């Protein structure tokens, strides 16, 4: 810095699964009140709405316009439920919420890449494109989401990269969910881009009863920031905060 002072660490708040409706405004109050005080950027990791209605997205945007910090978001499966995802994106375009769907953006020297992601499971049990055409289509969706993430990360030139997803990239952060539904909560196909580009941290939601954190096979920290999960912790919180020092090293709070 020209005056010899150290630059302030960058604070990134992240939360998922707001499931906003007109009757859920009260749940946003802690986020609206605390985010500008505790963070420089707010990440919303999917399921912004409950029923996937444009009106819900517009209502959420009106509420969050009070937050005077950048807001990045990805959509989740609930935001696709009513087949209004394109209208939701258009409705949010003029708001404080910037939706990433295979997009990359740099804020204060940190690069952010965001995709919704998809399912297919994890590790050696990941679903392969074999058999009926509907199975191949299901797997193709997961592959395309992983490719979108890879492409977004590749376009960034920042030293420090952050990924925001809705579906989980590793199995560790969905542990605690019923075994029967874990393959539908994420995909290992999302993990490979995180490792390849040495992402500093990845955030996701979707697994309301999973674990709050884990790591990829290459050691990338992954945080499950589903709001129901955050509320269930011994010390409930409205979001997780990642602090990046001047060297880009993360510490979680």
Q: CB of 209 within 8 A of CB of 229? A: yes
Q: Is residue 2 part of a domain?
A: no
CB-based contacts of 103: which residues, under 8 Å, 6+ apart? 113, 114, 152
Q: Kindly report the number of other CB atoms within 10 A of residue 252's CB atom.
A: 14
User: Average pLDDT over the chain, rounded to whole?
Assistant: 94
Q: Does the pLDDT of residue 248 top 60, yes or no? A: no
- CATH number where 234 lies: 3.60.21.10
pLDDT band for 94, please (50, 70, 90 cuts). Answer: confident
pLDDT of res. 1: 45
Task: Summarize pLDDT for 114-160 with one digit per residue, the tens.
Answer: 999 999 999 999 999 999 999 999 999 999 999 999 999 999 999 99
User: What's the rounded mean pLDDT across residues 98-104?
Assistant: 98
Is-contact 187 120, C-beta < 8 A? yes
Residue 172, domain extent: 10-252
Establish if 171 belongs to a structural domain: yes
pLDDT in tens, 14-63: 999 999 998 888 889 999 999 999 999 999 999 999 999 999 999 999 99
Distance CA 243, CA 196 (A): 23
Stronger pLDDT, 24 or 231, i.e. the higher one: 231
The number of angstroms, rounded, from the C-alpha of 188 to the middle of its chain's C-alpha atoms is 16
Dihedral through CA 52, CA 155, CA 252, CA 145, nearest 10?
Answer: 40
246, pLDDT greater than 60: no
In a domain, 141, yes or no: yes
Structure tokens at 26: 């009260």
What is the DSSP track for 178-200?
Answer: -GGGGGGSBBGGGHHHHHHTT-S
2, pLDDT greater than 70: no
What is the number of domains present in the chain?
1
Reported in sequence order, the residue ranges of the chain that DSSP labels E, i.e. its strands, are 10-15, 41-45, 71-74, 97-99, 103-107, 110-114, 160-164, 201-204, 213-215, 221-224, 240-244, 250-252
Question: For residue 1, is it within any domain?
Answer: no
Question: Model-level pTM?
Answer: 0.94
Sheet holding 10-15, edge to edge: 97-99, 71-74, 41-45, 10-15, 240-244, 250-252
Mean pLDDT on 1-22: 81
Percent of the chain with pLDDT over 70: 94
Kindly state whether residue 118 falls inside one of the protein's structural domains: yes
Residue 73, beta-bridge partner list: 44, 99
Residue 34 to residue 129: CA distance in whole angstroms = 45
% pLDDT > 90, the chain: 89
In a domain, 5, yes or no: no
- Torsion region of 235: left, alpha or beta (phi above 0 gives left; psi -120 to 50 gives alpha): beta
């Amino acid at each position: 810095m020209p005056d010899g002072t150290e630059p302030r660490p960058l604070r990134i708040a992240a939360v998922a699964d707001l499931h906003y409706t007109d009757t859920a405004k009260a749940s946003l109050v802690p986020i609206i009140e605390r985010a500008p005080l505790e963070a420089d950027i707010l990440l919303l990791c999917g399921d912004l709405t409950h029923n996937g209605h444009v009106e819900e997205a517009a209502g959420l945007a009106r509420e969050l316009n009070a937050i005077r910090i950048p807001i990045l978001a990805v959509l989740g499966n609930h935001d696709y439920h009513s087949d209004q995802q394109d209208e939701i994106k258009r409705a949010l375009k003029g708001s404080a919420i910037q939706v990433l769907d295979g997009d990359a953006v740099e804020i204060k020297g940190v690069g952010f890449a965001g995709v919704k992601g998809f399912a297919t499971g994890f590790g050696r049990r990941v679903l392969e494109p074999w058999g009926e055409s509907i199975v191949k289509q299901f797997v193709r969706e997961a592959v395309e989401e992983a490719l979108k993430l890879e492409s977004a990360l590749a376009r960034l030139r920042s030293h420090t990269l952050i990924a925001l997803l809705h579906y989980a990239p590793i199995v560790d952060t969905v542990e605690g969910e019923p075994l029967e539904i874990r393959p539908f909560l994420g995909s290992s196909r999302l993990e490979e881009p995180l490792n390849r580009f040495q992402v500093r941290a990845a955030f996701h939601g979707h697994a309301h009863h999973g674990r709050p954190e884990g790591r990829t096979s290459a050691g990338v920290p992954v945080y499950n920031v589903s709001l129901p999960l955050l509320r269930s912790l011994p010390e409930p919180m409205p979001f997780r905060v990642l602090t990046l020092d001047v060297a880009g090293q993360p510490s979680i709070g």
